[in-house]
Each structure stands twice: as structure tokens, then as C-alpha cells.
Structure 1
Amino acid sequence: MNDKKEKKARVKAGRKRVRMRILTSLVIYTLLLVLIFLGYYRWFPTRLSNQLASVFGLRVTYFLREYKHFFIIGFYIIGVIIICVQTATRYVRYVDAISLSLTSLVDDDAEMQSLPAELKDIEIALRDVKYTLVKNENAAKMAEKQKNDLLVFLAHDLKTPLTSVIGYLSLMNENPDMPEEQKAKYLGITLEKAYRLEELLSEFFDITRMNVQSMVISHVKVDLTMMLYQIADEFYPVLAEKRLTAVLDVESGLKVSGDADKLARVFDNLLRNAAAYSYPNTCVCIEAAREADGIYVRIKNQGDEVPPEKLALIFEKFYRVDSSRGTGTGGAGLGLAIAKEIVELHGGRISVSSVGHEMQFMISLPECQEGNTEELAKKEKNPEKHRFLGRRKKTPQSPEEDSEESLEGARGVPLEDGVEERKKE
């Protein structure tokens, strides 16, 4: 905002300088003509008249005396025309210089043309535009290169588990009398490799979707409280495998207007990120509360501190903090970029901080107001859209049913032992 005000002020100052220069030229020329006019009336009747008479004769002298006012006005008009022509010529030179500078904007190798002193503000603005264009182009090239590299890696990674799956299945097919214990072992390995294939294919589709048009969201009423409890419950196996515990401090009755599936993907991506980079035997904290300007969700975990220069790029597409592609943390580097896009499509904001060993993602979303809820209900032809992700047993018929229906009603299972809840006092 301050930069825009400064640019407007510089443009106004430049225009003012040009106007003052033109006005100064006209004033100086007018004063010069006034001096000539006064001198004409003072010296023409005597000295100048005699000199003109001796050179041009009495008839010419009489003519000059008779039409002296017309001559003075004519000289003044001619002078004004000359000043206007000079000013117009200067502006034409300005336009030519700006045109050359604009041409250099689309040419990466071309140098920016230096503009006259009066146009320094425009030159600075054009240099800023060129810098931004070059920066965006370089970022796009880097993202394209990273995407192509990831596609090569994914193609290689897909081949490894697929070869294992085919090998173990072929082995079991060729040995139908294989002992059950060995067959169960091979089936377990095959299933594990199949899950790995599923993860790799999911990454592949994420990469291909980045070239498709921006995602579209549908607005329905979403029970954010229930969503967070349900996602935390679903993550119990992932967290337990890494010896992590989810701790929830979520205010009841939090409602937002948005796309339930896409919002769930945001928290899914953030929890996967937290699980991948947390120290063992630590907690992943999920906090949600209603504040003055909306609903805030904070997801915290304990892990290595991220340097500020890497933290600034954490939401960029295909960017990875550790630059690795191990099965533990390796991925396409799209999860956080997708989360940011979804949050902003919902009119919210997402930020990240890393202080010491604590990493925190903070999401703000606008709260669903009662008026918005009634409008959404009218637009919905199917009341089942009020369900979160289509997993709830029924649509609540009253606020009492809605408040009494816990996570058990959403999934039919209680919270796992690894998911703790901190009751708000």
C-alpha cells in the first residue's frame, strides 16, 4: 500500500515539474515581449523611427507605426507556437523513449533504455516491472524443471514396487502349494508395495493437476469441530507408526462455509507434513478457536528448526525443505502449495512459523454466519450435503442432535487411545 502511494506521489511530482517548465517558458517569453513592447513605444518615435526612415523610407516607417499592435500580437503568437512545437517535440521524444523501454520488457537480453530526467519515475517503475517479469519467468522455468525431474523420479519409483508386486504374485502363482505362512508373508509385502504404488500415483496426479485450470470449490455448511476430530482419529495409525500422539484443543460448534472435501485435504496435508518431520515420542497439537475476525486453526509439532530462507519458500510448488525423496518424507512438494491455494479460495489465510524446535501452521477461515447458512440451505437440493465428507450416519434434524452427535456418530468408532482431547475450560 505504501509503495503504491509513493509511486502515485512520484508521478504527480513529475507531472508538476513538466507543467512548471511549460509555464515558466510562457512567462519568460511574455516578459520578453512586454520589454520589447515598452522599448518600442519609448524609442520608436525618435531614434528608431529616424533609422528606419533612412533605411526603408518614410512609407515603410509609417506602415510600421500604423500597424505596430498587430506586429506585437503576431510576434507573441509566433512565440507561443514555437514553445508549443518544442513542447510537443519533447513529448514525442518521451513517447519514443518509453516505447523502446516497453519493447525491452519482453526481451530478456535487452537492456532497459535510460529515460530523460523528467521520466526517471517511469524508468524506475518499468525497471520494477521488468524485474518482476524476469523473476516470475525464472520461477516458472524452475518449477517446470522441478516438475520434469519429479516425473522422471516418479517413473523410476513406480517401476520398483511394481516389479516387486509382479514378482511376488508370479511366485505365488507358480507355487500353489506354498506354505500358508510364507504366502501370508508374500501377500503382506505385496500389499505394502501396492500402497506405495498408490502414494506414487497420487503424487503423479497432483503434478498433472497443476497444469489444469484452478480448482473450483462448492460452498456448504461444514462442521469444522467434527472435521478436525475425525481427521485426527483417521491419522491414528500414521501417528502411532511414528510414535506420535495427537492432542486436540478444539472449541465446540465451529462452523465454516466451504468445500468439505478440499478443507479436509488441507488438514490432511498439514498433518502428514507434521507426522513426517516430527521427533519421535512427541505430540502433534491441533488447536481451533473462534476469534474476533474468524476461526483460527493451529497445528504444531516438534522437529528441526527451519531456516527463514527456506521457510519463505515452503508454500512454493515443488519445493521441499529437505530436498530428499525418501519414503519417509519424500514427496512431490505440492501438499503445502495445494493447502495454501484451497485456504485462499475459501477467503482465508495460511502462515507458518518455526521457533526453536516448534513448527506451527496457522489457518484463518471466515466463520459461517447464520444468514449464510440459510442461504446455503436454500441452494442445496440434497440435504445430505450437510454431511462432512459423506461419512456421517444421518443429517442432524435439530441443534440438540447436532451437538450430541460426536465423532462416534460420524464414523461409528470412538477416539483411538493415541488421540487425546484437551477440554476447554
Structure 2
Amino acid sequence: MSRLRSAQAQALQRRLFGMLLVSLPVYSVLFAAVALALDTTVFDDLGERIANLTSSWTYYSEDEYVALQIEFADARQSDLLQALPVEGGGYNVRNLGPYYAMRSLKWVVLLGIYLLGCVGMALVVMRSSVKRFDDLACAITALFADREAKIILPDSLAIVRAELLEVRERSLADERVTRAAETRKNELVAYLAHDIKTPLTSVLGYLTLLKESPDIPRTVRAEYAGIALSKAERLDDLIDEFFEITRYNLQAIPVERQRISAQLLCQQVADELFPEANAKDVTIDVDVPDDFTLFIDPDKMARALSNVMRNAVAYADVDTCVNVRVRIDEHKATFLVTDQGREISPVHLQSIFEKFFREDTARSSNKGGAGLGLAIAKEIVVAHGGSISAQSEAGTTTFFIVVPV
């Protein structure tokens, strides 16, 4: 017999065995008491009636009665005869063989009735078990039909009731998360459509001008071509960013670590962002000691750091400085990227690293990307076993990238 692993099944098993262990002795005692009472009261009168129905009286003379006795004695059945003397001679005699035969079946019948009662009690217990199964099936069916429906189960199924409540809460929570993610994804599609439409419209507009105005001066033609190229590059960046976050979202990021100088990594990223920072009159100051060495994936961490620094440059005020520092202790390294500019609200600080999150007023098309860079940075940092966070107060915003040393 396989062992029951479910706590609820074990509880029901104990309950059913307990009912049988209590009910069977009680039933046995009551049945025995009733049988003895009937045997001393009803059975004697009932036996007399049965004897009268199954055996008739017959008159025998004395000689015939003696011969009959000899006959029954030879057959060893003399105790089956019942004789009553008749006034004037002779006997009324009857054969009680059928009566004794029926009487011998009394205990067999009682035993059969007792066993039928035991079977009936077992059926009642089984019906109770089936009833609980039916209650459970109805509760599960109702839960599938309406997850908000109240789960009604008896106290004997309290364990299953608690488990169903937990399953329902998890299902509802997952549904809420899925619905929220779907909403954010739909918003992202709308934002991307808007961000892509803007540079695409400019490209089409300037190309149309070049096509319809073949006689415009060379300098103006060069200016229009340059603007169209710039907008096309912007469009290409948006598409690349979208595909990158999609790729990171669908598969685990492979991390290939190696020793690298923290100062070299930060300086290389700062040099890459120099044109963007210079266009805004923003400087990037890298303050990292030369002897700081990290064991990380340099390409992917450079991508994460670039996204954070690009975000800082995009929202820094004109003529301000973006500071990049690194702190290293025994167990972890912390990149700090600080800028002076637009403050991020505490509510948005909890969500800016989530996939498909975008703060409308902080993600206008003339600043930064499509709002996906920080989500990509988080994917990369988490793949390194680290964490990323931010704090913003009085216009000073600092991003913290923490990775194990």
C-alpha cells in the first residue's frame, strides 16, 4: 500500500479510521445487548409459533408411540419428538425436526445481520469520504469558474481549504503582475511608435524637400542631408535599443569575467559619451584610483555603465558635471554616477529599472533613448550577481551599481 504523502489525506485517513474504531465496538455491544434481550423475551414466543406452523400434532396409541420412539431412537432423533399424554390413553405427538433445524440457523442469521450492519457502517464512512471528495471537486470547479468565489469546505478539509486559498492568492497575484506587465508593454509600444515616428517624419520631410527642390543651394542641401542622416541614426539607435532589451528579456545574459582596471573601464565609457556631453556643455569627471581592479565582464559592464552615464548626461543641467566614482571594499565594488539636474520622484525611483517602465515627463524624445537603457543595465548587473539602485534629492541624482569583487 503506497504511503499517503498529502497532509490532508493523512488527516482524513486518521479521521475515518477513528470513526470505524469507535463505531464498530459501540455497534457490537449494542447488537449483543439487543440479541440477548430478544432471546429471553421474543424468541421463546416466536419459537412456539414457528413450531406450531411447521409441525402438526398426531395421535398415537401407546403401542404406536412405543414403536415410534424405537424408530427415532434408532435414528438418534428421539429428542425431536414432543409427546403429550391423552386422557383415556395414547399420545399426541409432533416432530420438532423442522423447528430445531430453523432454530439452528438463528445464530447464523444473527451473525449475518451483524455483518450486514458492519458493512452498512463501512458504507456510511465511505460515503462520508466520498462526500468530502465531492465537496473538494465542487470547490475546485467553482474556483476555476470564478477565482474570486468564496471557497466553502468543511472543517475536516481545512488543510485543503488553506492550500486552495493560497493557490488562489498566488494565481490572482500572478494575474495582476501579468496584467501590469502587459499594460506596460502596450505603453512601451505606444512610446516607441511615437519616438520612432518623430525622427522618421523628419527624415521623410527633409528627403522630400531634397527631391522636390533640386535647385536649392549646395550648403542648404548639405544641411538637409545632415539633418536627415542624424534623424536616421537616431531611429537606428531606437530600434537597436528595443531589440537589445527584448533579447535580454528572453534569454539569460552570458557573463564572461576577467580582470580589468576600474579606472580604464570608466574612462573608456566617458570618452565614448564625450560628444553627447560636449553637445550639452556637460563635463564628465572620472575619479577612480589606478590600482582598483575588478573581476567582471568588461563589455557588458561597460554597456551597463554607459546606459547609466548616458541617462545622467541626458538629464543633467547645462554647464554641470557628471561625476563617476568607484568604491571597493573587501566583498564588493560600487560605481557611483552623480548628476545635477532634474529630480526623480521617490515613486519613480522604485520603478525606473523595471522593464517597460517609462516616466512620461522624463523620457521625452529629445532626451536619452526610449526609456529602456536602465532596464538593460539592471539585467547586466543582476547577471553579475549585483544590484542597481538610485537616490535623488534636491536635484542631485546618484546611481549605485554594486557588483561582487
- The TM-score, its normalising length taken from structure 1, stands at 0.66
Matching of residue 80 in structure 1 with residue 122 in structure 2: yes
What's the counterpart of residue 130 of structure 1? 171
**Residue type of the alignment partner of 2:163:** I
What's the counterpart of residue 139 of structure 1? 180
In 2 relative to 1, CA 46–256 (structure 1 residues): closer, same or farther, beyond 3 Å? Answer: same
Q: Is the 8 A contact 1:246 1:283 kept in 2?
A: yes
What's the counterpart of residue 295 of structure 2? 256
After TM superposition, the structure 1 = structure 2 runs for residues 164-203 of structure 1, keeping only pairs within 5 Å, are: 165-166=206-207, 174=215, 183=219, 187=222, 190-191=225-226, 193-203=228-238
**Residue type of the alignment partner of 1:318:** F
Matching of residue 350 in structure 1 with residue 388 in structure 2: yes
How much has 1:314 moved relative to structure 2? 1.3
Matching of residue 236 in structure 1 with residue 274 in structure 2: yes
How much has 1:227 moved relative to structure 2? 1.2
Q: Is the 8 A contact 2:253 2:380 kept in 1?
A: no
> Counterpart of 2:105 in 1: which secondary structure?
helix
> Counterpart of 1:124 in 2: which secondary structure?
helix
> Counterpart of 1:317 in 2: which secondary structure?
coil
CA distance in 2, matches of 1:300, 1:271: 9
What's the counterpart of residue 205 of structure 1? 240
How much has 1:68 moved relative to structure 2? 5.0
After TM superposition, the structure 1 = structure 2 runs for residues 391-406 of structure 1, keeping only pairs within 5 Å, are: none
In 2 relative to 1, CA 355–38 (structure 1 residues): closer, same or farther, beyond 3 Å? Answer: farther
How much has 1:203 moved relative to structure 2? 0.9
How much has 1:335 moved relative to structure 2? 1.1
After TM superposition, the structure 1 = structure 2 runs for residues 11-22 of structure 1, keeping only pairs within 5 Å, are: 12=7, 18-19=12-13, 21-22=15-16
What's the counterpart of residue 63 of structure 1? 105
Q: Is the 8 A contact 1:254 1:295 kept in 2?
A: no
Higher alpha-carbon Rg: 2
Indicate which of 323, 340, 361 corresponds to 2:399.
Answer: 361
Higher relative contact order (CA 8 A, sep 6+): 1
What's the counterpart of residue 3 of structure 2? none
Q: CA RMSD in A?
A: 3.8
CA distance in 1, matches of 2:121, 2:376: 66
In 2 relative to 1, CA 199–115 (structure 1 residues): closer, same or farther, beyond 3 Å? Answer: farther
Matching of residue 98 in structure 1 with residue 140 in structure 2: yes
How much has 1:146 moved relative to structure 2? 2.0
Any stretches of 5+ residues in structure 2 without a counterpart?
1-5, 52-98
After TM superposition, the structure 1 = structure 2 runs for residues 226-305 of structure 1, keeping only pairs within 5 Å, are: 226-250=264-288, 252-258=291-297, 260-305=298-343
How much has 1:64 moved relative to structure 2? 3.8
- The TM-score, its normalising length taken from structure 2, stands at 0.69
Any stretches of 5+ residues in structure 1 without a counterpart?
1-10, 106-110, 368-425
CA distance in 2, matches of 1:170, 1:248: 47
- Deviation string 1:246-283 (CA, Å, 9 cap, x unpaired) is 3434353422243x333222111111111222344444
In 2 relative to 1, CA 51–134 (structure 1 residues): closer, same or farther, beyond 3 Å? Answer: farther
> Counterpart of 1:288 in 2: which secondary structure?
strand
CA distance in 1, matches of 2:194, 2:379: 25
In 2 relative to 1, CA 143–284 (structure 1 residues): closer, same or farther, beyond 3 Å? Answer: same
> Counterpart of 1:154 in 2: which secondary structure?
helix
In 2 relative to 1, CA 232–125 (structure 1 residues): closer, same or farther, beyond 3 Å? Answer: same
Q: Is the 8 A contact 1:52 1:61 kept in 2?
A: no
CA distance in 2, matches of 1:311, 1:61: 94
> Counterpart of 2:398 in 1: which secondary structure?
strand
Q: Is the 8 A contact 2:280 2:318 kept in 1?
A: yes
**Residue type of the alignment partner of 2:237:** S
What's the counterpart of residue 407 of structure 1? none
State, as a whole percentage, how many aligned pairs show the same letter: 22
Q: Is the 8 A contact 1:299 1:360 kept in 2?
A: yes
What's the counterpart of residue 151 of structure 2? 114
Q: Is the 8 A contact 2:199 2:234 kept in 1?
A: no
How much has 1:189 moved relative to structure 2? 6.6
How much has 1:149 moved relative to structure 2? 1.7
**How many pairs were matched up?**
344
How much has 1:29 moved relative to structure 2? 1.7
Q: Is the 8 A contact 2:192 2:370 kept in 1?
A: no
**Residue type of the alignment partner of 1:152:** A
Q: Is the 8 A contact 1:168 1:190 kept in 2?
A: no
In 2 relative to 1, CA 33–283 (structure 1 residues): closer, same or farther, beyond 3 Å? Answer: farther
CA distance in 2, matches of 1:250, 1:48: 109
What's the counterpart of residue 395 of structure 1? none
Matching of residue 152 in structure 1 with residue 189 in structure 2: no
- Deviation string 1:120-172 (CA, Å, 9 cap, x unpaired) is 31332232233234324423432342243234323431234314653676699
In 2 relative to 1, CA 120–93 (structure 1 residues): closer, same or farther, beyond 3 Å? Answer: closer
- Deviation string 1:100-137 (CA, Å, 9 cap, x unpaired) is 423556xxxxx546342434313322322332343244
In 2 relative to 1, CA 365–154 (structure 1 residues): closer, same or farther, beyond 3 Å? Answer: same
> Counterpart of 1:299 in 2: which secondary structure?
strand
> Counterpart of 1:174 in 2: which secondary structure?
coil
How much has 1:41 moved relative to structure 2? 7.1
